[in-house]
A and B are shown apart, each in its own frame.
Chain A
Amino acid sequence: EIVMTQSPATLSVSPGERATLSCRASQSIAGSLAWYQHKAGQTPKLLIYHASTRATGVPARFSGSGSGTEFTLTISSLQSEDFAVYYCQQYNKWPPLTFGGGTKVEIK
């Protein structure tokens, strides 16, 4: 099973600042990585797939990068609606499909 590790667990950021979230795979997953945003009580939302492709309707301030075992989600200028929990997910080798533990982005 591929283990996905996200860091930090919590990220405190002021509105308008840049946020950088990390996701590491226990073995190479090439570019088979997705990022999701989840707010409590709402449906999780696909942000990025294939490591760097923005999903339909996702603002350009969200960008993904990386390949192999190291990946990054960057939010260039945090808006109030961006405070949420973010998860990465690998889909290169499965079953099982595996997720990271999440990074909570909170208001500083």
Chain B
Amino acid sequence: EVLLVEAGGDLVQPGGSLRLSCAASGFTFGGYWMHWVRHVPGKGLVWISRINPTGRDTNYADFVKGRFTSSRDNAKNTLYLHMNSVRPEDSALYFCAREAPNGGNYYFDSWGRGIPVTVSS
């Protein structure tokens, strides 16, 4: 069974930093593109980032470029989201998601349950 479990969510002050992690199991983690998506009540789902299987190729939404970085450790089957210079509008439920296989299928066939992040002073 594919399992994705996010961790690291917390209350953080504006301008601060946080690192989210996503532990993967039940599949060959190093063979898949992975994504981060967030959900804000009333605003729906918003895509944040994508990282290739080796971790050398990443894409980001404009609103996080220069502030958030996605990385991965395939030996630990773990995906990360490094969040810097956080803003109150970054408060959300953060999901990691697995991209469907076979390349070019940029939709998500497995998701975690999400982890809440609150940015507030």
Contacts and interface: CB of A to CB of B under 8 A. Distances in A.
Interface stretch (A59-67, A75-83, A94-102): A94-102
Contact of A43 (B46, B50, B112): B112
B106 A97 contact: yes
Interface centre among B46, B100, B105, B107 (most CB of A within 10 A): B107
Interface of A is mostly: loop
Contacts of A94: 47, 59, 106
Contacts, number: 62
B89 to A, nearest CB: 16
B109 A95 contact: no
Interface of B is mostly: strand
A55 B109 contact: yes
A11 interface: no
Contacts of A97: 35, 47, 50, 106
Interface residues of A, number: 23
Given A44-B95, A49-B100, A96 B61 contact: yes
A87 B111 CA distance: 14
Chain B interface size, under 10 / 10 to 19 / 20 to 34 / 35 or more: 20 to 34
B110 to A, nearest CB: 8
Contact of B113 (A42, A87, A91, A96): A42
A26 B96 CA distance: 26
Contact of A101 (B43, B105, B111): B43
Interface string A35-77: 0100001111110010000010000000000000000000000
Interface of A: 32, 34, 36, 41-46, 49, 55, 87, 89, 91, 94-102
Interface of B: 4, 35, 43-47, 50, 59-62, 95, 97, 100, 105-114
